[in-house]
Amino acid sequence: ALTQPEEMKNWYFNISNFEPREGEIFDFIVSFSDDDGEHNFRHLFKILKVIPAEELQHTWEHPGHSGGTSVLTWELFPREGSTKVVLTHEGIETFLDEGSKYFTKASYLAGWTDILQGLKEYLENEI
């Protein structure tokens, strides 16, 4: 579910051309509206490390909104009958140049919490 585009779109983002190979670059746009209006945030990332069934690491950027670059590391740890997923997002503070509420640590924490909950629900319903 972590590296298969047809599964990722069910709990993460629809990145149809995603391939888990070091050096690959992907982007996608997240669009939404709120009390502040319509928003279209481009997300760009480059795969830094792939260890099948263990670790996926990639950059995370918002071109056009921030000059910052952060790094996401997804780690998988086998457990009896399940897998523990640990997501680490380093460098969030580099997005503070954007100046809005959308690229703060609290915003990312809320977003990643929702995404990880979506992954959990997807896997529990698919197995």
- Would you write out the chain's pLDDT as a tens digit for each of its 127 residues? 899 989 999 999 888 889 999 999 999 998 999 998 999 999 999 999 999 999 999 999 999 899 999 999 999 999 998 999 999 999 999 999 988 888 899 999 999 999 999 999 999 997 5
Q: Are 43 and 27 in contact (CB under 8 A)?
A: yes
Q: Within 10 Å of residue 93's Cβ, how many Cβ atoms? A: 12
CATH architecture of 5-126: 2-Layer Sandwich (3.30)
Q: Which residues contact 39 (CB under 8 A, 6 or more apart)?
A: 30, 31, 32, 33, 102
What the block records as the tokens of 35 is 């009390």
